[in-house]
Amino acid sequence: MSVNGKSRRSVARSALLGVLMLGVAAPGFGLAQPASAQDVTEEGPKGLVIAYRADPSRRADFRRFMISEHAAMLRKLEAEGKLESFRLFYSWYAQPKVWDAMVELRFTGTSQLLAWNRLEQEAPGGLSKAGQALAQPVLTSSVDRVFSNGKQDGPEAERSTYYVIPYEFVSAGEYRDYAKAYVVPQYEGWLKSGLLASYEILFNRYPVGDPWDSLVILQCRDADAFGKRQKILDEVRKGFVNNAVWQAYHKRKSEIRSETENSIADLIAR
């Protein structure tokens, strides 16, 4: 049976919370997942992803603002215990349908999240008046970091190239199984090959409407490594030629998820 866009979103919404509650980490992959159903239902999400868009004429000024004033504000929140950590990205190119800047915020729990919500009352997306004159927050998503591995805070973080890929899926349960059996093994191979320094797969806690249900953030070690991505991808995939489960997902992946416009970005602050 075919699934239209509207019913796909309905299935995803109804399935996601149950999947997050039932998931158990597979050994050996360094996976970051909710520890229990209580974490999901009582503590709430411990992450936000905020996307910002600037007019092309203000894009350079906005980048400078995010590196200086906005990053300083986020570091102050960290020092005050109101934020666990953050990563601030800026896209290489101006694109009409995607973000110019994106920040990933991590909280230790509800108190930090509520502190951010109070900040939002006066500063949408955390932007000061100066920031709001340059750009605007266009999307804020509550996220759970479901799969991850690698070292994000190594010395190569700032010289890395980041590849950010949004996906929509039909069923959260099926997508999670697919990610565990098909996607994560490839990313582990990319880590071993030296292509990646880290990866993470975020799930949108409330996947209502566009633009994504899952967000992948790949940290390629540098621009040269990123340029070799397709070659390494092909080499790693050769290792799964006799893996029946992997091959089955490979044939069906277009039925499980759809990919929207990707972004290439730099890490400009953390």
Range of the domain at 66: 5-269
Interval 5-30 mean pLDDT? 41
pLDDT 10s digits, 122-168: 999 999 999 999 999 999 999 999 999 999 988 889 999 999 999 99
- pLDDT of 42 reads 53
Reported as half-sphere exposure (CB side, CA atoms, 13 A), residue 191 has a value of: 18
- pLDDT of 156 reads 86
C-alpha closest to that of 223 among 261, 191, 264, 184: 264
pLDDT exceeds cutoff 80 at 2: no
d(CA 246, CA 237): 10
pLDDT 10s digits, 93-116: 999 889 999 999 999 999 999 999
pLDDT exceeds cutoff 90 at 262: yes
pLDDT exceeds cutoff 60 at 184: yes
| CATH number for the domain harbouring residue 135 | 3.30.70.100
- pLDDT of 31 reads 46
Mean pLDDT of the chain: 87
d(CA 17, CA 34): 11
Tally the domains of the chain: 1
- pLDDT of 11 reads 44
pLDDT exceeds cutoff 80 at 253: yes
- pLDDT of 97 reads 87
pLDDT exceeds cutoff 70 at 238: yes
pLDDT exceeds cutoff 50 at 12: no
- pLDDT of 211 reads 83
pLDDT exceeds cutoff 60 at 88: yes
